[in-house]
């Protein structure tokens, strides 16, 4: 699978709250094409939030298909994710798409990839993109050592740490919460 880079998306469930955020940088080759891309989308009247990394056109195609699956399966996020992953792996057109998704509802996080993976991450932290390991490490430390922070504060601080380290991640953050 192609290594997805040029963004950082992080989702955290902490103290019963869910937050997902992403930086705004889009690169083309070795230059910044845009600095304020919105990589987070709310679905199902805000009950499900998604974030994407990779090719924007590919991600929008996958988000549209995911929304269709959500509608087909009555808003059941896990079932919709599994069905999308099956299609993504098997369909000749979808198989060529280069993107990853994080989906979150009030109870769980899932990471979807083009290899057919639907992963439930440990520690209720999910990260994708070039700065994902920096953001995930920071989020793990903050959850453990600063338990009074909110999920949104953990996401914001972790993405800022990733942006300080990863050249493909900037400080123009968009963070959404699930109420």
Q: Can you give the three-state secondary structure of 28-85, one letter per residue?
A: ECCEEEECCCCCEEEEHHHCEEEEEEECHHHHHHHHHHHHHHHHHCCCCHHHHHHHHH
| DSSP H or E run through 164 | helix 151-165
Catalytically annotated residue among 2, 7, 8, 27: 7
H helical segments located in 74-126: 77-90
Give the C-alpha separation, 161 to 62, whole Å. Answer: 28
Active-site residue, 7 included: yes
The crossing angle, in degrees rounded to 10, of helices 77-90 and 56-72 is 130
- Which residue numbers are catalytic? 7
């Amino acid at each position: 699978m192609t290594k997805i880079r040029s963004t950082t998306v992080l989702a955290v469930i902490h103290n019963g709250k869910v937050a997902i955020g992403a930086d705004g940088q889009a690169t083309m080759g070795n230059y910044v094409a845009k600095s304020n891309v919105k990589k987070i989308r709310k679905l199902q009247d805000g009950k499900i939030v998604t974030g994407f990394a990779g090719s924007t056109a590919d991600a929008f195609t996958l988000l549209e298909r995911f929304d269709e699956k959500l509608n087909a399966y009555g808003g059941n996020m896990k079932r919709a994710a599994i069905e999308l992953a099956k299609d993504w792996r098997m369909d000749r057109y979808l198989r060529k798409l280069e993107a990853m998704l994080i989906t979150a509802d009030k109870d769980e996080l899932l990471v979807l990839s083009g290899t057919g993976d639907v992963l439930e991450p440990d520690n209720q932290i999910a990260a994708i993109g070039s700065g994902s390991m920096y953001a995930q490490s920071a989020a793990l430390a903050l959850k453990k050592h600063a338990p009074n922070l909110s999920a949104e504060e953990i996401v914001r601080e972790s993405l800022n740490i990733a942006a300080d380290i990863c050249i493909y991640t900037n400080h123009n953050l968009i963070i959404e919460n699930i109420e």
